[in-house]
């Protein structure tokens, strides 16, 4: 995946150019950096249980990036958020319903939850242990208090013929 792909996946789901956001399961920071490009002002919490790579992107400016070491399957100590990005991370949660219920306690009512995931039903451990294709996200969304998801964009996947999708649901 490229930084251009990350921008393509996120751009249609950013309703406002400012706010307080979290990138959960931020990994290398690719989606944190994409979000930083799409916002004009605000704060992004780059959350990962192994945030070592993220320290290089932390910093202030019109869009501040704050590195936060945490496991998103456990209660998070974040401010109330104007948006959440979760890119290629929810497929690591064995119980996505419990994980989403936990995460959504940090999201303002009506705020966007942007999910980026592989469109596959086939597990590919260790990289995609618990796949979450769009159809499954639609099934889960109502159970956790999200609106019906809307698919926003697709980019090619490095894993075979499937693609990576982005979807928007609101709390």
Residue with tokens 């999708």: 165
∠ CA 33-123-53, nearest 5°, is 25
| CA dihedral of 61, 78, 93, 33, whole degrees rounded to 10 | 0
What ranges do the domains of the chain cover? Answer: 3-170
Report how far residue 4's alpha carbon sits from residue 147's, in angstroms, rounded to the nearest whole number. 28
Residues 106-150: tens digit of each pLDDT: 999 999 999 999 999 999 899 999 999 999 999 999 999 999 999
* Residue 66: how many other CB atoms lie within 10 Å: 17
Render pLDDT for 4-63 as a digit per residue (tens, 0 to 9): 999 999 999 999 999 999 999 999 999 999 999 999 999 999 999 999 999 999 988 899
β 41-48/18-24 pair status: parallel
| Statement: residue 159 has pLDDT above 80 | no
pLDDT at 57: 92
Give the other-Cβ count within 10 Å of 69's Cβ.
12
Which residues have C-beta within 8 Å of that of residue 149, sequence separation ≥ 6?
Answer: 115, 134, 137, 138, 141, 167, 168, 169
CA atoms within 13 A of residue 51's CA, in its CB half-sphere: 21
Query: How far is Cα 90 from Cα 128, in angstroms, rounded to an integer?
Result: 9
State how far the Cα of 5 lies from the Cα of 89, in Å rounded to an integer.
Answer: 16
pTM of structure: 0.96
Q: How far apart are CA 76 and CA 68, in angstroms?
A: 10
Phi, psi (rounded to 5 degrees) for 78: -120, 160
**3-170: CATH superfamily:** Vaccinia Virus protein VP39 (3.40.50.150)
């Amino acid at each position: 995946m490229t930084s251009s792909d990350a921008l393509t996946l996120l751009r249609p789901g950013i309703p406002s150019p400012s706010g307080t956001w979290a990138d959960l399961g931020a990994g290398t920071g690719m989606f944190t950096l994409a979000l930083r490009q799409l916002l004009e002002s605000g704060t992004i919490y780059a959350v990962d249980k192994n945030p070592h790579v993220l320290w290089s992107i932390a910093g202030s400016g019109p869009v501040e990036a704050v590195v936060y070491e945490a496991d998103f399957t456990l209660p998070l100590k974040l401010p109330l958020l104007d948006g959440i990005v979760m890119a290629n991370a929810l497929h690591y949660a064995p119980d996505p319903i419990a994980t989403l219920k936990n995460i959504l306690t940090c999201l303002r009512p009506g705020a966007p939850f942007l999910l980026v995931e592989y469109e596959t039903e086939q597990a590919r451990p260790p990289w995609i242990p618990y796949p979450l294709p769009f159809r499954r996200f639609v099934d889960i969304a109502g159970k956790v208090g999200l609106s019906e998801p809307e698919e926003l964009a697709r980019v090619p996947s490095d894993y075979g013929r499937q693609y990576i999708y982005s979807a928007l649901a609101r709390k």
